[in-house]
Amino acid sequence: MDNKTRHLSVADYFLIIQKEYLIAEFRRKIYFSKDRAYYQRVMDGKKKKILDISERNHLSDIFNSHDTLKEVRRELFDENGRPLFILTDIDVERYYAVGHEFSYKGDIWILDQISRNGKLVLYSPKLQVYEDADKKEVCRIL
């Protein structure tokens, strides 16, 4: 283990690495191809560690228990799927990338642009209209 995890109990490390796996999965979905490959490798390594600890200690984990997955996700994402953890500036840029689909008012909208005041300008292919929305009103479809 590295210096960051050396002082953690196995139980604490097990919980943290599962959260790190889900955060890496989130980033793999919002980043572009080169970065996606990096986050996939991160996920693969963390999955191996999670399964090893789970097997050795007969523990439920995010891969073998839907309840555990829901519990860990609930700590990381709100009920609409928006991240609760702190995003880097690059994460925010990738999450709110123009051209991507967002859930807004129960429908699929496409981000057309971000206005100077920080509002998102969304386009509804279904309704064929544009509408301004706050970031907290939308959720990226991943």
Tell me: the pLDDT tens digits for 47-104? 999 999 999 999 999 999 999 999 999 999 999 899 999 999 999 999 999 999 999 9
Same domain (yes/no): 54, 20? yes
Same domain (yes/no): 77, 26? yes
Specify the 3-state DSSP secondary structure of 34.
helix
Residue 3 or residue 64, greater confidence:
64
| Rg of the Cα atoms in the chain | 18
**What pLDDT, on a 0 to 100 scale, did the predictor assign at position 34?**
86
Report d(CA 55, CA 105) in Å as an integer: 43
**What pLDDT, on a 0 to 100 scale, did the predictor assign at position 1?**
41
Q: Is 44 inside a domain boundary?
A: yes
pLDDT at 2 over 90: no
Q: How would you list the strands of the sheet with 120-124, edge to edge? A: 129-133, 120-124, 107-114, 101-104, 139-140
Residues of the domain holding 125: 101-140
Report d(CA 69, CA 139) in Å as an integer: 20
**What pLDDT, on a 0 to 100 scale, did the predictor assign at position 20?**
98
pLDDT at 6 over 80: no
pLDDT at 5 over 60: no
Q: Is 40 inside a domain boundary?
A: yes
Total number of domains in the chain = 2
Report d(CA 50, CA 53) in Å as an integer: 5
Report d(CA 136, CA 53) in Å as an integer: 37
**pTM of the predicted model, to two decimals?**
0.88
Percent of the chain with pLDDT over 90: 90
**What pLDDT, on a 0 to 100 scale, did the predictor assign at position 85?**
96
What beta strand segments (E) does 9-126 contain?
A: 101-104, 107-114, 120-124
